[in-house]
Amino acid sequence: MNALPLILRDIPNADYHANAGLNTESKRVSSSMVKTILGRNGVRQFVRKYLLKVCAPYKSKGLKTGSLLHALLAGTFDDEFTSAPECPHGRKTKDGGFKPYTGGAKYEEWLATVDLGGKDTYIPEELEQAQALVEHLREHKECREMIEADGISEGTLYGQIAGFDCQIRMDKCLKYSPTIIDWKTTGEPIGNFRRVSDRFGYHLQAAFYSMVYRDAFGKLPKFLFAVVETKEPFTATVFEYALTKDDEEDVEHAVQLMHKDLTEMDEAWVGVHPLKETFFGE
């Protein structure tokens, strides 16, 4: 099966994310929207983040590492990242010297005034860590085969769920096999990945992607998580996700819920079925 003709390759990452949301021109639903509305305080968080847009983007060291890893594997590093510029402002040291800001609120405030061409920044230590994680993935036979397999990285696909327009951006989609690959980093031991998946909604992401892919191509894909630890011993492995009835119902419910007048709804917990070990095969 050659799925590539329907997958869009030339949509920049920033444009893809800008197109997600019910108050955008496209009005397409993304997996992040589903995970948000099915999370704790989900309706309120969804309204704040996607309708009112009053939530600042969440940043963390783990997210930066994951983004760098994705860009290196996709071959888009130079398009997405630039070396963090040195700040001309700083503080005096005890010995009368000068130490420029290299992080923190004051550095971020200054950085916001710098034209970075729409790119994110990195420091050498962050890049070195991401490059090392790529090599740890390559040390795992199946992960290496997935990296080297013929396919398309960062491809966008459109489809529908419950009659509403949706979009997905796949880390990698294989060319001659209905397979989606998703690269993940984890700061916990690899054996805890099922619990981590439940915490971050990875199973909902996999369900959403699988359902959009099925709508576009008429069959479910194989969905594989290639995971690498960010701490020693840097173990890498592959988990296969299988779409369940519970996850499918949760995703459909989420898509339908976000199209209602949420400003009139009482705040409530919207439950998510807990991740079960049987959902994954190692």
Closest CA to 14 of 125, 84, 116: 116
Quote the tokens at residue 205. 């992401």
- Single out the residue of 11, 52, 46 nearest to residue 32, CA to CA: 46
**Does residue 67 sit in helix, strand or coil?**
helix
Look at residue 57 in the predicted model and tell me its pLDDT: 65
Alpha carbon distance 227, 249 (integer Å): 26
Report which of 182, 147, 184 is spatially closest to residue 63, judged by C-alpha positions: 184
- Do the beta carbons of residue 85 and residue 117 sit within 8 Å? no
Return per-residue pLDDT of the chain as tens, 282 residues. Answer: 444 558 988 788 778 877 777 766 778 999 999 999 998 888 888 888 887 777 766 667 788 999 999 999 999 999 999 999 988 888 888 888 888 878 788 888 888 899 998 899 999 999 999 999 999 999 999 999 999 999 999 999 999 999 999 999 999 999 989 999 999 999 999 999 999 999 999 999 999 999 999 999 999 999 999 999 999 999 999 999 999 999 999 999 999 999 887 655 544 433 433 433 334 443
Residue 48 CB neighbour total at 10 angstroms = 14
How many residues are recorded in the chain? 282
pLDDT for residue 52 = 77
Domains of the chain plus CATH, in order, are 4-84+103-281 (3.90.320.10)
Amino acid at 36: T
Cβ(8)–Cβ(157) below 8 Å:
yes
Question: How confident is the model at residue 6, as a pLDDT?
Answer: 80
